[in-house]
Amino acid sequence: MLCDLESAELDSVAAYLNGADAAVFAAGAGAGSGAARKDTVDYGAAALFASAAVEAGVRRFVQVSTVGIEDADSPSVDPDFAVYLKAKKLAEADLKSRDLDWTILRPGPLVSDAPTGLVTLAAPRLPRSSVTRADVAAVLAELLNARNTVGKTLELVNGETPVADAVRAIL
């Protein structure tokens, strides 16, 4: 189904989630979008989607964020990128305040290379490194049923551990 989370109402988004076992928020305004769009997508749409999950009774919620959240207020960060980091940071705080079985996944810089099936997944802060989009998707699929990751914020980069093993190893 197609839903514009920048203009949708809570009830309609919740209706889309009715009967779902889990929800994954993986949207982002993208490079080149302005500050207002980062606020409406990276924060606003994430908060709306989490609210809709609560309303629809969907307990399991995985949210894709980004590495570098801790640097959101650093003067060394490009101001446009800082807006993005601050929006993601607000979205994380919003999710953590909700009564959901949430996991936050912070991938490193995304690349479109072929999947490796090998990752490093750990609590923040991992050394900055890239990760393939396909490997992020594989980790998301594993996280959905990984009760050991509920209430955790995890960073992800390509590494040397098979995806399923990396998710199982989270304590």
Handedness of CA 74, 78, 82, 88 (dihedral sign): negative
- Is residue 16 in a domain? no
Residue 152: Cβ-neighbour burial (10 angstroms; 0-12, 13-18, 19+)? middle
Model confidence, pTM: 0.95
Confidence class of residue 33 from pLDDT cuts 50, 70 and 90?
confident
- Is residue 15 in a domain? no
Say yes or no to pLDDT of 32 above 90.
Answer: no
Amino acid identity at 135:
D
**CB-CB contact of 32 with 51 (8 Å):** no
Find the helix or strand (DSSP H, E) in which 158 lies: strand 152-158
Question: CA-to-CA distance for 92 and 86, rounded, in angstroms?
Answer: 10
Q: Is 138 helix (H, G, I), strand (E, B) or coil?
A: helix
- Is residue 97 in a domain? yes
Confidence class of residue 85 from pLDDT cuts 50, 70 and 90?
very high
- Is residue 3 in a domain? no
Find the helix or strand (DSSP H, E) in which 82 lies: helix 79-96
Find the mean pLDDT for residues 67-77.
93
Terminal CA-to-CA distance of the chain, rounded, Å?
Answer: 35
Range of the domain at 76: 21-168
Q: Per the structure block, which two tokens stand in for 94?
A: 């919003």
- Is residue 11 in a domain? no
Confidence class of residue 30 from pLDDT cuts 50, 70 and 90?
confident
Residue with tokens 């996944």: 105
Q: How many domains does the chain have?
A: 1
- Is residue 95 in a domain? yes
- Is residue 122 in a domain? yes
Question: CA-to-CA distance for 163 and 135, rounded, in angstroms?
Answer: 8
In a 13 Å sphere around the CA of 40, the CA atoms on its Cβ side amount to 10
- Is residue 87 in a domain? yes
CATH of the domain at 137: 3.40.50.720
Confidence class of residue 152 from pLDDT cuts 50, 70 and 90?
very high
Residue with tokens 């940071």: 89
Say yes or no to pLDDT of 31 above 80.
Answer: no
Average pLDDT over the chain, rounded to whole? 95
